Amino acid sequence: MKKDYIGYRKWSAPDPRCAFLLVHGLGTYSGRWESMAGFFLQKGISSYAIDLPELDCIRSYYNEILRVREAAIKDNPGKKVFLVGESLGGLTSFLFTAEHPGLFEGLVCISPAFANRKTLKFFETVKMLLPILYNPAKQVNLSFDSSMCTRDTDCRKKIDSDPREYRSASVGLIFDILITQTRTKRAIKNMNTPVLFMVSEEDLIIDTETSRKVFDSLTAKDKTFIGFPGMYHALSIELGKEAVFEELFKWIEKRL
What CATH number has the domain bearing residue 216?
3.40.50.1820
Does 3 reside within a domain?
no
Residues 45/107, Cβ–Cβ less than 8 Å: no
pLDDT of 3 reads: 38
Does 46 reside within a domain?
yes
Does 2 reside within a domain?
no
CB neighbourhood size of 100 (10 A):
16
Tell me how many domains the chain contains.
1
pLDDT of 2 reads: 39
Specify the amino acid at residue 12: S
Q: How confident is the model at residue 174 (pLDDT cuts 50, 70, 90)?
A: confident
Element (H, E) at 41: helix 34-41
Distance CA 83, CA 165 (A): 23
Does 1 reside within a domain?
no
pLDDT of 122 reads: 61
pLDDT of 170 reads: 86
Mean pLDDT, residues 102-122 taken together: 88
What confidence tens digit (pLDDT) does each residue in 237-246 have?
A: 999 999 999 9
pTM for the model: 0.92
Domain residue limits at 153: 8-253
Does 200 reside within a domain?
yes
Q: Nearest-5° angle of CA 225, CA 18, CA 235?
A: 40
Query: Hey, which residues does 228 pair with through a beta bridge?
Result: 200
Does 197 reside within a domain?
yes
